[in-house]
Amino acid sequence: MPRYDCIIVGAGPAGASAAYHLSQRGHSVLLLEKAALPRYKPCGGGVSPEIRQWFDFDFEPVISQKVTRTRYTWKLEEAIEADLETPIWMVRRNEFDHYIVQQAQAKGAVLRDRTKATCIQFEGDRWQVFTSEGDTFEGTYLIAADGGRGPMAKWLGFEERKTSVAGAIEIEPKVAVEDGHIVHFEFGLLKNGYVWNFPKRDGYSIGSGAFCTNQRKGRDLVEPMVEYAAAFGVDGAAEQKHGHPVCLWDGDQVLHTQNALLAGEAACVVDPFTAEGIRPSIFTGVKAAATISRALNGESEALADYTKIIATELGSEMRLASRLAKAFYMAPHLSYKTILNYPFATRAMGRVFTGDLKYADVVQKALKRISGGLLTR
């Protein structure tokens, strides 16, 4: 039976990043992915350039567009535009995720795509992973990176994860792109969320998501997206639609168990204000790799430290993002006028996304402006 230092289930940003860093450290890694790679993944595809400091390879081959300006609207009017101090990357997830996997393979990671984990069990000092292809693999450690809907967390005993399940729906029309350096957000067409247009080299990613409430479905999400798409000359009703739940951060939680960790959306680390998921997922993958490397080198407390690290370095920021989201959507039009129309705020939010600022640097000012607006209404 093939045995590895670590088996990773899920080849998204978290799993692929963990595979790369573990392999780079000289550990044997098996990466299991149920889909054939490269595979389509519904996602706006906005990536913070902060991630480049966590890798020693260049992401230029899979950056479809770099946006340098952001544009906000309220019910397609009251436009606010601001330059971004640092460009934000736009990627196609099929290309981006597979690219990181390929870098991991170059370091020695073994990929088995088209291979679904069907069962796991802990035997002695290792995990056994049974697959849809009839194979069984053994790993000293295990990383569950199979997304918010994947079964691994429950199989590992994480029955009640802290998460707020939101909903999103998206289209990806392949059209000629005008003003490809501008990323667009619309806040008035959809309650408790926003509609977006993220430009790519060969088209748009247009979608809508309700992020400050329970998951929303159907017309609640489709109609605002279709209306917004029309503003860019796109017939949203005719495009194929891709819906998916989003597991937002909703509190710190235990992310480790016997020789295993949760990473990525399986760990419920999507930003509760912006719904950014790629950067926090990669962050957990990088930290999971470092943790398991320590454990393989004999550090008995390494896995417990992972839970503390994510809570300290990521959870503290997510807590502030959650406070900002609740305040913003309590009175969204007022918040739009008092926050996004404030030059500091528009620049600051761009810098938060690019990693140049933390929520801790901006949230108190934002909350004061919102509360001040409520008092003077």
Q: Which two structure tokens, joined as six digits, stand for 366?
A: 């934002």
Mean pLDDT of 198-213: 89
Under the banding of pLDDT at 50, 70 and 90, the label for residue 219 is low
Q: pLDDT digits over 352-367, tens only?
A: 988 899 999 888 888 8
pTM: 0.94
CB atoms within 10 A of CB 250: 16
Q: Which carries the bigger pLDDT value, residue 99 or residue 211?
A: 99
CA dist 194 and 203 (Å) reads 20
| Domains along the chain with CATH numbers | 3-321 (3.50.50.60), 322-376 (no CATH)
Q: pLDDT digits over 330-344, tens only?
A: 889 999 988 887 777
Counting every residue written for the chain, the total comes to: 377
Q: Over the chain, what is the mean pLDDT?
A: 92
Under the banding of pLDDT at 50, 70 and 90, the label for residue 73 is very high
Q: pLDDT digits over 138-151, tens only?
A: 999 999 999 988 99
